[in-house]
Amino acid sequence: MGFFSVLGDMFRIFKHVFRQVFVRPFTSLYPFEDRYYPERTRGRHIHIREKCTACSQCVRACPVVAIRIDKEDKMYEKDAALYFDYSRCIFCGLCVEACRFDSLFHTPIVDLSEGERDDLLYGPDKIETLERDPLEWRGRRFR
């Protein structure tokens, strides 16, 4: 291996190192910054209650019994309240496929971590809106 060959290799290495100093990092400051997820990501659901007919097809389709329906809780003529247990949900999408009334959708929101397990139960107050409370744990705020 000649002197100029070694010199060429070193030049290529330094060129690569120098270039990396100026490229934008691929990492993001998650969870302090939101990450991008594709539109079709199967994240947490949203329930459009105006369109719901309380047919229970979503409940029947769920293979892990993660959805409970309360037909007594009505806001419109035919709807019902849904409760999602995200400690059970495997985000398979079968409930959304089963809904024939465009009442249930996935959203690209996947960061559902909570400090307490009970907070993973999404009742009507949480499943009908995308607004979220800030997550605080051990004195730090994560979203």
Q: What angle do CA 33, 129, 36 make, to 5 degrees?
A: 30
Closest distance between ligand SF4 and the C-beta of residue 98, in Å?
6
Minimum Å gap between C-beta 129 and ligand SF4 is: 15
* CB of 63 vs ligand SF4, minimal distance in Å: 6
Site residues (CB under 6 A) for ligand SF4?
47, 52-58, 61-62, 64, 66-67, 69, 80, 84, 89-95, 98-99, 101, 103-104
- Enter the DSSP assignment of 141: E
Cα–Cα dist 117/109, whole Å: 18
**How far is the C-alpha of 56 from the C-alpha of 60, rounded, in Å?**
6
Residue 6 or 90: the one with the smaller Cβ distance to ligand SF4 is: 90
